[in-house]
Amino acid sequence: MRVTGMMQSTQMLRNLRNTNAGIVNWQNQLATGQKIHRPGDDPVGIGYQMRYDTELARSDEFLENARTGTGWLNTMDSNLQQATEVLQRAKVLTQQALNGTTPEDARKQVASEILQLKEQMVAIANSSYDGRYMFNGQKTDVQPYSSATAATDETDTGMYYLNVSPFVTVPVSITGEQIFGASGSPDNVFLALDEIYNNLIANDVTALSGGLTKIDAAADRISLNLAEVGARTNRFELVENRLLDEQVGLKQLRAQVADVDMPEALIQLQTRENIMQASLATGARIMQVSLIDFIR
Amino acid sequence: MRSTFHSLETSKRALFVQSTALNTLGHNIANASTEGYSRQRVNMTAARPLAFPGLTRPNTPGQIGQGVEYVSVTRVRDNYLDLQYRRENQQLGMWDVHDQAIKAIEKIVNEPSDSGLSKVMDKFWNSLEVLNRDPALLSARIDLIGSATNMAETLKHMSASLDTLEADAASNIQAKLVQANSLIESISQVNGIIRRIELVGDNANDYRDQRDVMMDQLSRLVDVQFSEDANGMMNVFSGGAQVVTGETPTALTLADVDNLTGGEIAGYKKSVEEVQTIRNQLNAMMDTLINGAVDVTLPNGYVTANDITAQNDVTLEDGTTITAGAVIPAGSRIASSVTITVNGFNGLHQLGYTMSDPAENGLPFFTTTDGSGTFSIGNIQVNPAIAADTSKIAAAGKYEVNGSGDSITIKGNGDIALALTSLRDKKFNFPLSLTTLSSGTTDDYFRAMVGDLGTRANNATRNYTNQLNLVDGVNMRRQSVSGVSLDEEMSDMIRFQHAYNAAARNMTMVDEMLDRVINQMGVVGR
């Protein structure tokens, strides 16, 4: 083959161009740690990378939902604990008052404490989380109970739900009437406290003893709801753990698709660097040589 | 009988021919780096010897040489390689432009990145999730409007960038047409020059080189087929039309662009198509998400504000059952799960109730800036009424009528917000007139779109690299045949120089012989 000077320089430039393109590519991968910089780098891989990124972002939101649920339920739990304590105190006081030796004016003192306990119970039933009333279903902007009419106040039956995965929705809220007793029903906790108060004022010991069973019934109901709250808390905690595990898995999968294999990239870059040095050295040597150097 | 001065003439011819060869050699060296230059050769031949039939035959044994002559100066060129070069070069021009354009589209689509559309849409869906977490929360509502506005603006920005790219490609077609037409005109002019030169028997070497360079340049811009006629003029066809007929050029017009099958102009035409494909795909995605019919289930019931029909049998709070397809009158309080067909995101949002008292039905969440009923990435915006008043976001699906007869939205109800988040996982049917991706979630659709773009980008890059290698290869072979090798010219130079010197020496020798005869002969005894 006849070789001309132009061919030598064309070929050398072409090879240098290719080697440089390779160096730039691997350098970019090493500098960013990412394999895919544009869709054309890996048309299939980019779909996976985008899916994992989306899933991770979504998972963060579900995690936030689960944490909100846990927070909400923890608040509900401590509220119900308080309610239980209030009822225990009411029971002890009522039992004291039931004692035949208790004088009438002492019963009146007990009555005023019962009144305070009822107020406390109303405050618990009106408690809120993040500015939302917890025990009024979906009417989170409406205070469910007022102390004057607590015994007959109705709460909303709507439920507060949270998503923990694309297709799984978990109920969070328990409506007030379910915890404190249906409006106006004999075992409504506010009605029971009202009755005890009235009976104490009226000094009606016989009727008072009936109040004791109602308090027990109310306390049982609250315990049941506490168990429900506990069960839901567990569920949210499980969800939280599952989401965290999933995120680890997703990050691993994403890394497999999108992250640069560092040793591979370093070796590739080094190889190309060597090739470039060799082609520069040979190119520079060969292109200098000419017949002109040897004839006089 | 030969002439006394025969040898002088022979030496003179040798001096002339060798110096011609040296001149041409100098021409070669001077043009060693000229683009498209083909090395030239002086074709020497021995002159007609004595005696030649027709000349008077002397009475001596014949065939005495009369020295050297040159018959022609020709360029060394392989026309078949030109054919190959131009065939590959037109494809190279096309794929080069196509590859550049699709890389620009990849930049506009901006995936994968932290600011690309998929991240922006993730944010949008996530803020719906936040709204569902606390439907009445002001910050959740502001977040939703912010992320929706951000999504609309990202799309608008993509739209504007795609428009610019398309306009650039279109104006480049114009510019390249002007360039091609100027080449076509020049080629026909050079055709005329070559015809006149070769008519008298010379070889128009340098003009032919010039024409070949212009043909190479033309083949980069448009597809070319060509043939040379008997007068040495090149006839050129492009896009099926004859653009050079001897000395007559025919300019290419915009109407011819659709017929071109190669060259940069065809590449720009393809780039425009690529931009349109991407824009159509994105338009189809947004219009379908916002307007496309989809079945939505509200698991916790719904309070109707208008007459609607459901896909399933529903039970009202008062115990009545309404069968699927029957009209559910306005104001019904549906207690069971209900499945309704709605027109996309907007349709679903319009089912909801705003935070205002009395309750109002939701407005279309997105509107078009140009009033069109079809959404595109260029005209999408968040309904200005909603953007101006966060309470207009209709997250609730229930209201109740209070004592004074007013409808009051149940603020903590997030049924519609929940349903809006579920749209993310709903399979939509995308219009086949705009996209080949028929059915899937919007997330899936966008990923498929990006993957599709990547495949086409890969294809363009691979084709471009292949063509580049082919053209480089042909060019190399062309250089091998036609290129100037300085080493070769140097050794020729020594050859011709020696021949020239020797001819001069020969002349001196003849001169001495004549000197002997004229001045020193017949002087014996002087």
Q: Tens digits of per-residue pLDDT, A127-142?
A: 998 889 999 988 888 8
**A177 vs A160: CA distance, rounded Å:** 15
- Token duo for residue A48: 């996976």
Q: How far apart are the first and last CA of chain A?
A: 27
A53 contacts on B by Cβ (under 8 Å):
112, 118-119, 122
Q: Is A53 in contact with B119 (Cβ distance < 8 A)?
A: yes
Average pLDDT, integer, range A49-74? 93
**A124 vs A134: CA distance, rounded Å:** 10
B447 contacts on A by Cβ (under 8 Å):
46-47, 50-51
Query: Phi and psi for B382 in degrees, rounded to 5?
Result: -75, 135
Q: Is A14 in contact with B455 (Cβ distance < 8 A)?
A: no
Class of the domain covering A77-254: mainly alpha
Q: How far is B411 from chain A (nearest CA, A)?
A: 6
Mean of all residue pLDDT scores within chain A:
91
B488 contacts on A by Cβ (under 8 Å):
2
Q: pTM of the predicted model, to two decimals?
A: 0.87
A156 contacts on B by Cβ (under 8 Å):
410, 412
Which among B411, B454, B490 has the least Cβ separation from residue A46?
Answer: B454
A3 interfacial to chain B (CB closer than 8 Å): yes
- Token duo for residue B180: 């091609």
Is B139 within the bounds of a domain? no
Q: How far is A156 from chain B (nearest CA, A)?
A: 10
Asked if B159 and B279 touch (Cβ cutoff 8 Å), the reply is yes
B136 contacts on A by Cβ (under 8 Å):
132, 140-141
Q: Tens digits of per-residue pLDDT, B33-86?
A: 899 999 999 999 999 887 766 666 667 777 788 899 999 999 999 999 999 999
Average pLDDT, integer, range A86-109? 88
A34 interfacial to chain B (CB closer than 8 Å): yes
| Helices within B134-224 (DSSP H only) | 138-199, 205-221
In the prediction, which pLDDT does A157 show? 85
Q: Which of residues 107-136 of A touch B (CB under 8 A)?
A: 130, 132, 136
A58 contacts on B by Cβ (under 8 Å):
122, 125-126, 129
Strand partners, B353: B361, B396
**B291 vs A230: CA distance, rounded Å:** 43
**B482 vs A216: CA distance, rounded Å:** 110
Which among A7, A37, A156 has the least Cβ separation from residue B480?
Answer: A7
Q: In one letter, which amino acid is B371?
A: G
Domain boundaries, chain A: 77-254
Q: Which of A38, A162, A165 to mutate to test the interface with B (most CBs of B within 10 A)?
A: A38
Q: Which of residues 367-426 of B touch A (CB under 8 A)?
A: 396, 398, 410-414, 418, 421-422, 424-425
Q: Name the residue with tokens 């824009």.
A: B279
Asked if B22 and B497 touch (Cβ cutoff 8 Å), the reply is yes
Is B116 within the bounds of a domain? no
Q: How many interchain CB pairs under 8 A, A with B?
A: 173
B484 contacts on A by Cβ (under 8 Å):
4-6
Q: Is B452 in contact with A58 (Cβ distance < 8 A)?
A: no
- Token duo for residue A276: 């470039």
Helix B117-133 with B415-422: angle, nearest 10 deg: 150
Q: Which helix (H) or strand (E) holds B298?
A: strand B293-298
- Chain mean position to CA B419: 44
Q: Is A50 in contact with B107 (Cβ distance < 8 A)?
A: no
In the prediction, which pLDDT does B56 show? 65
Q: Among B163, B92, B89, which residue's Cα sits nearest to residue B461?
A: B92
In the prediction, which pLDDT does B58 show? 65
DSSP A22: H
Q: Which helix (H) or strand (E) holds A256?
A: helix A205-258
C-alpha angle with apex B146: B141 to B151, nearest 5 degrees? Answer: 125
pLDDT per residue rounded down to tens, chain B (526 residues): 567 888 899 999 999 999 999 999 999 999 998 999 999 999 999 998 877 666 666 677 777 888 999 999 999 999 999 999 999 999 999 999 999 999 999 999 998 888 899 999 999 999 999 999 989 889 999 999 999 999 999 999 999 999 999 999 999 999 999 999 999 999 999 999 999 999 998 999 999 999 999 999 999 999 999 999 999 999 999 999 999 999 999 999 999 999 999 999 999 999 999 999 999 999 999 999 999 999 999 888 899 888 888 999 999 988 889 999 889 988 889 989 999 999 999 999 999 999 887 888 999 999 999 999 999 999 999 999 999 999 999 999 988 888 888 888 888 888 999 999 999 999 999 888 777 778 889 999 999 999 999 999 999 999 999 999 999 999 999 999 999 999 999 999 999 999 999 999 999 999 999 999 888 888 777 7
**A161 vs A65: CA distance, rounded Å:** 10
A64 interfacial to chain B (CB closer than 8 Å): yes
Q: How far is A163 from chain B (nearest CA, A)?
A: 8
Q: How far is B502 from chain A (nearest CA, A)?
A: 19
Q: In one letter, which amino acid is B206?
A: D
Which chain B residue shows the shortest CA-CA distance from A170? B133
Q: Among B360, B422, B367, which residue's Cα sits nearest to residue B393?
A: B360
User: Exposed, middle or buried: residue A181 (CB in 10 Å: 0-12, 13-18, 19+)?
Assistant: buried
In the prediction, which pLDDT does B242 show? 95
Which among B106, B132, B410 has the least Cβ separation from residue A139?
Answer: B410
- Token duo for residue B227: 């043939």
In the prediction, which pLDDT does A244 show? 95
- Chain mean position to CA A235: 12
* Domain, as residue range, for B25: 6-76+488-520
Q: SS3 string of B420-488?
A: HHHHHHCCEECCCCCCCCCEECHHHHHHHHHHHHHHHHHHHHHHHHHHHHHHHHHHHHHHHHHCCCHHH
Maximal C-alpha separation, chain A: 141
B138 interfacial to chain A (CB closer than 8 Å): no
Is B43 within the bounds of a domain? yes
Long-range contacts of B427-436 (CB under 8 A, 24+ apart): B428/B288, B428/B289, B428/B292, B428/B294, B428/B344, B429/B288, B429/B292, B429/B293, B430/B284, B430/B285, B430/B288, B430/B292, B431/B284, B431/B287, B431/B288, B434/B280, B434/B281, B434/B283, B434/B284, B435/B280, B435/B281, B435/B284, B435/B285
Is B160 within the bounds of a domain? no
Q: Pick left, alpha or beta for residue A81 (phi over 0 → left; psi -120 to 50 → alpha; otherwise beta).
A: alpha
